Amino acid sequence: MRTLPPASAAPTLICRDAHSFEEMRLASGRTASHTRPVPFLPVPVALRTYYFVTFGLMGLYLPYFPTWIRERGFVGMEMGVLLATLPFCQLLSPALVGLLADKFALRGRMMTWCGVTTALGMTLFAFSATALAVIPVFLAAVCMLTFASLRAPASGLADVLAMEIAPDYGRMRLWGSLGFMCLALAGGSFIDPTHPYVLPFAICAFAWLSVGASLLLPQNSALPPRPALTDAKDFLRQPAYRRLLITMMLIFGGFSAYDLCATLHLRKLGATGIETGLFWSIATSAEVVLLIWAARWSERVGPGKLLTFACAVGTLRWLFLSQATDIDLILLMQPVHGVSFGLMWVSAIGALKREVGNKGTATAQGVFASAIAFGATIGVTTWGPFYDTYGSENLFLAAATLSGLATLSATRLIRLTTPLRALAG
């Protein structure tokens, strides 16, 4: 959501010393089997396809599913609890799946298992909505739990695979953003979120497509199995790694207000379905543009500096949304999403790679994703009742406060780094 250099090129990782660079250069030779063509599609193309359909699913889920849940009669705390299931499941599942993926050297096979669970959950939700005029809370909770339990680890392993086989992570990851953008725009034009079952069936279709795409990916890691639990303990002893986790908790605590309530805020202001689709697709278009260049900027400037800048821009963005009431002006400002999310995400991944190098990447990414989920879970659980009680103005002011704290935390990640080309020389 690109034309890549030859798949055999060494992964672009920021190393802390020449020795670690040499280890990664040798490791890149061992990962060459990732890029051998498999039936139907070469691995890089299959991974782009996987990103597109997986984030296309979220392009339908994030903008429209909260409204669909509300229209089914789940409001206030019930709405908050159901929607918090996704980030709540991310508290442990990415870390656990990451540990297993490194311990047994699994990649695509684990992604397939995760994808099947996700697809089954939304399939159950879709057929329940078709058969029942009112979905019982318990049944809705079972559907959401099944859908949410292993969705995040699958995306996390896609990021790990991209870091292992792609010279430029940002240019691989942008295919996910393209999928999100296309489906968010199409959803605003063709899907009525108040319809009883069209939306869950559409999400269900893309969930099964992601399962199919995962079958075309390398089933195992070309790197040998690792002592994953030891790796996790080593990472958590690193002060900068812990600081990165805290920063991401704060960032996504604020971002969850946007994900949960932005569409509700637009509907309150009188936005049409097409305007809502444009709101999400314009933001993601800017994200795609930033992803093309963000990895190069991160290497030159340093991921800590860019992460701090992105957090500061996010703070200003939430302050703006707290006061803006004109739909046209809100749409005009949506390209800022490219910095507040796209640049933020690639910078955070750059900081992650700087701390872990080529060691236990699935484990490190899993703990990283679990930290994000911790902030998002608290946010999603809180923002629904907060929105109903205090309104969108105070909601986005609170999100700006969290983003401001994330900016302060990110400043501790700023430090000089040696360019990769100098290490290679």
- Read off the pLDDT of residues 177-198 as tens digits, 9 standing for 90 and up: 889 888 888 887 788 888 888 9
- pLDDT of 363 reads 83
Q: pLDDT per residue over 221-233, tens digit each? A: 766 677 777 777 8
- 200's CB contacts (< 8 A; 6+ apart) are 68, 122, 125, 126, 129
Which pLDDT score, from 0 to 100, does residue 394 have? 93
The tens digit of pLDDT for each residue in 333-348 reads 999 999 999 899 989 9
Q: For the residues 152-158, what does the mean pLDDT come to?
A: 88
Q: Mean of the pLDDT values across residues 259-266?
A: 87
Give the confidence band of 4 by pLDDT, cuts at 50, 70, 90: very low
- Report pLDDT for 381: 79
pLDDT-derived band at 67 (thresholds 50, 70, 90) equals confident
pLDDT for 313 beyond 60: yes
Q: What is the pLDDT of residues 88-102, one digit of tens each?
A: 888 888 888 888 888
- Average confidence score pLDDT of the chain: 82
- Calculate mean pLDDT across residues 63-79: 86
- pLDDT range class, residue 202, cuts 50, 70, 90: very high
Q: In this model, does residue 10 exceed pLDDT 90? A: no
Least confident of 23-37, 98-112, 345-359: 23-37
Whether the CB-CB separation of 216 and 134 falls below 8 Å is answered with no
> What's the half-sphere exposure (Cβ side, CA atoms, 13 Å) at 9?
14
Query: Which range is most confident: 7-11, 130-134, 401-405?
Result: 401-405
Q: How confident is the model at residue 76 (pLDDT cuts 50, 70, 90)?
A: confident
CB-CB contact of 122 with 65 (8 Å):
no
**Alpha-carbon gap, residue 277 to 57, rounded angstroms:** 14
Which domains does the chain possess?
39-424 (1.20.1250.20)
Average pLDDT of 266-281? Answer: 86
- Whole-model pTM: value is 0.72
Of 55 and 425, the structure prediction assigns the larger pLDDT to 55
